Chains A and B, each alone.
Chain A
């Protein structure tokens, strides 16, 4: 019980890191997607390079670089800031690819019908392509979010006191060995299974709405 309490102290930070990183990732992904779809070769090349750079380096290395390596002026990033930022930019690269895929899954005919009807570009994105993209992206997006929830444990390496950090601290102090990590595993499962269920529920609901 005492063990559970000790670990649970890390729960808010796990959730916080995950949510903030997901938000940063989602927002930063949008201009990257625009760049990946750009017909301007330079912009495309830069976006492509950025995605490959962000994805190509392990998240833990990003976190170390941000935490130990970067100081903006006299200010150094806190462990939480570095953790959220690092996981956020890596998430942006993956999410950009997910969004790009979802956009290209919208049939060409939808674009053509929109053009033929004379819709403005903004209308096409907000009313036609956007909603269909969001729908197509939901399964991959939640899969990524669940992955990110677990990857947030990487932030423990730079001292963010989330679940894994608290668990290893407890293990060291109490000498309870491996058991504490089983409990931590249980907490992660309790967090990720509902997310998966929610995703499937949303997916089924949207499919039904369209095929009523």
Chain B
């Protein structure tokens, strides 16, 4: 009786281990940070909190400010703030080569190429840098390169002087 019980228990444990492994392996494409195999280099639709930002590790919760970076190999990284994309690229220069960056826009609510977008400097973006993408240009908006430069120089709402000059407080 004891032997049968031990055998049943062993069998159940092996099955449980296999289930955990299979569930994990089946899940591998979307583990928290990266979507792999996006060889068509298209935007990957995703739900709020489904992925974490590859730079700051926070949940990508507010999809209005979300961005995606797709490497040449088809690895798709998710970001909660366009500022995070700039900071991440600074640390991962190799990924920059032929990478595509898409961002959500606050006016048309669509994914567009970040290099075609215009950026407000005073938006309440998730990380508080202030940059948010728009499809249409408005006064005081900056283009991608300018936004990138400002982020790298720290000229965003984190800087009290910039904040005062832009928001008056």
A and B interact physically: no
